[in-house]
Amino acid sequence: MTPLHAVLFDCDGVIVDSEIASFQLFIEDLAAHGFPLTLEEFERDYIGGTVEGVGDKVRARGGNLPADWAENFYVKLYDMLRQGVPLIAGVEGVFDRLDQAGIPYAVGSNGSLEKMDITLGARGLLPRFRAVLSGQAIGKPKPAPDLYLACAAACGAAPEHCVVIEDSAAGAKAALAAGMRCFGYAEHGPDTPTARAVAALGVPLFSRMEDLPGLLGL
């Protein structure tokens, strides 16, 4: 097995259990703008990018969103997140195991730095990470590999010695394009549209964070 020098985590749906609430907010907001979607449709076609990317896809499919839609949606999203969201069960135990093994870890998310400051900062987690980087902030969101390459550099690790933990096809594509191994976290099992899209890339899935240290060889 290739030596493990760093582990790189997505944020929403991998560290912070915020995705279902966020998806529901998207669905409610888009329906109010005359663009109804089911949860399955949203998961299949719209996740893994940025809020701006969601707006672009909706407009490309005939949706009529105002020019400031993304800006206004961020306000609603951040207000919701400030109410508090739980961590993914078992993820802090994974961090503890990595600390014990002396392996650095970082976060690479398409979400904004402000969003991660709300979700991770409120939990006091930010000091644990070697870096917390945003694809929006660097101008190269997933599925481009740049974000995870920057995370690896922050950890002082070569890409081939990194493992990425993702829950979206866009994120998994970014990891693979960066030359990194990837595991797909499928909290709700392998049969959701998101999990199927990740598995279709040849990325192995797991559904319990407690199992991740074993997958990493810790």
The β-bridge relationship of strands 105-109 and 6-9 is parallel
Q: Quick check: is 12 catalytic?
A: yes
Reduced to 3 states (helix: H, G, I; strand: E, B; else coil), residue 108 is strand
User: CA-based diameter of the chain, in Å?
Assistant: 52
Please tell me the distance from the alpha carbon of residue 213 to that of residue 218, in angstroms, as a whole number.
5
- Closest among 23, 47, 38, 17 to 119, alpha carbons compared: 17
Indicate which residue of 10, 17, 29, 167 is catalytic: 10
Query: CA–CA distance from 21 to each of 13, 17, 24, 76, 197 (Å)?
Result: 11, 9, 5, 12, 21
Please tell me the distance from the alpha carbon of residue 191 to that of residue 189, in angstroms, as a whole number.
6
Q: What is the dihedral of CA 61, 62, 63, 68, to 10 degrees?
A: 90
Q: Quick check: is 211 catalytic?
A: no
Indicate which residue of 12, 45, 99, 191 is catalytic: 12
Please tell me the distance from the alpha carbon of residue 15 to that of residue 166, in angstroms, as a whole number.
10
Phi, psi of 6 (to 5 degrees): -165, 150
Residues that are catalytic:
10, 12
